[in-house]
Amino acid sequence: MDDEMIFDPSLKKKKKKKTGFDMEAALAGEPSETTSAEVPAETGDVDVPEDDSLDLDNFGKKKKKKKKTFFNLEELESALPEAKDEAPPAEEPEHQDEELIDDLDLDIDFTRTKKKKKKKNLDEIFAEEDVRGGEEQERDEDQNGEWHGSDRDYTYDELLERVFDIMREKNPSMVSGKKQKFIMRPPQVVRIGTKKTSFANFTEICKTLHRQPKHLLDFLLAELGTSGSVDGNSQLIIKGRFQQKQIENVLRRYIKEYVTCHTCRSPDTILQKDTRLFFLQCETCGSRCSVASIKSGFQAVTGKRAAMRAKTA
Amino acid sequence: MSIQNLNTFDPFADAIKSSEDDVQDGLVHVRIQQRNGRKTLTTIQGLSSEYDLKKIVRACKKEFACNGTVVEHPEYGEVLQLQGDQRENICQWLTKSGLVKPEQLKVHGF
Ligand SMILES: [Zn+2]
């Protein structure tokens, strides 16, 4: 069982990576897939001009979209063999740090040792950008010259470059913004006796995330399938034995769903309750989307049978 | 020959049905629970009632070499219970057998 526990988080990591890239994959898949999806739609219209057929075509489109994103996921995965290989099954803290650094899908860091590497990364990126920018400028000048000289049409690539140059110029934070990370202290998880776990900095983490402790509490307990409460020292006592890494996994999922904006991934968001639904309002890009409500769902009876019978009787 | 497109067929019928009852969100929830000590339990909630869960549990028990049972729940319907952490196993098995689409699976836990 312990072996399983150790291996499990790394397995989950990989999984997460997949879902983490989902957005980008979907975005990347969109231009090509809309064009491909339009073809059957058009032929469908020609064959049968009924309204029903249109609906069916739309359905086809939906299905195609899903399929496409899956392909993209696989492609992405294969395109990122390093990241995958580097996820070690071992539990050493050093490795863990590395793993976290590689884990770009969620813009969260539970470590502070990371900064060094991040800086390096950023520097590299800037360096790359500089080089690229330089090249592009040169090319741009050439092209601009060409455009001015003749009255030929722009090529697609030229236009694309032009647009990106303007974007970089007007919005320099966008270039580095992608790597902007959300640095957070790791959860302090300590075992209490044999059956309980303490999440010591639970309240502190709630504060950093700007979320109600009750909301995070509900999520944690629902995901872990257990019970627990905040004690007088503002630490969370959870029934059951959990490792720091496991709590961290659940926290990552919480942040992904309820903290970072689903559109721009900015952590500067507000969670609002509207009638029965929760909405995530982004302060950076202004997007607003509904998020899943927290449901613990089915809970199996695990206690001793005798105790259970005594309760019901 | 019948023309399919002339049939009255509501492609959104399923969607309406699933949004009516809050519990069946169309997802299959795979959860893990800790039992006494180091033992765990995997529960699978939301499998379509069209499937014979008894048959599924029989196949799973053999495949994963673990015990399992089907529990009837008033709110969540028939729920599959398997001993140990079978989340990875059951997800693979359900998608491979074509019973559940990968995007329908929602895995919970640590
Ligand atoms: Zn946003």
ipTM > 0.90?
no
Q: Pick from A300, A306, A79, A81: which is nearest to B80 by CA?
A: A300
pLDDT tens digit sequence for A146-172 = 566 677 788 888 889 888 888 888 776
Nearest CA in chain B to A58: B11
Percent of chain A with pLDDT over 90: 25
CB contact at 8 A, A297 and B76: yes
Percent of chain A with pLDDT over 70: 45
Instruction: Answer whether 0.90 is exceeded by the pTM.
Output: no
| Residues written for chain A | 313
Residue to mutate among A249, A295, A298, with most B CBs inside 10 A, is A298
Nearest CA in chain B to A51: B5
pLDDT tens digit sequence for A183-240 = 788 999 999 998 899 999 999 999 999 999 999 999 999 999 999 999 998 899 999 9
Chain A residues in contact with B34 by the CB 8 A cut-off are: 224-226, 240-241, 302
| Contact at CB, A52 and B107, closer than 8 angstroms | no
Chain B residues in contact with A220 by the CB 8 A cut-off are: none
Distance CA B93, CA B98 (A): 8
| Contact at CB, A52 and B6, closer than 8 angstroms | yes
Which pLDDT band, with edges at 50, 70 and 90, does B1 fall under?
low
pLDDT tens digit sequence for A268-290 = 899 998 888 899 999 888 899 99
Domains of chain B: 35-103 (3.30.780.10)
Distance A90 CA to ligand 1 centre (A): 35
Q: Is A110 on the interface with B (CB under 8 A)?
A: no
| Contact at CB, B45 and A2, closer than 8 angstroms | no
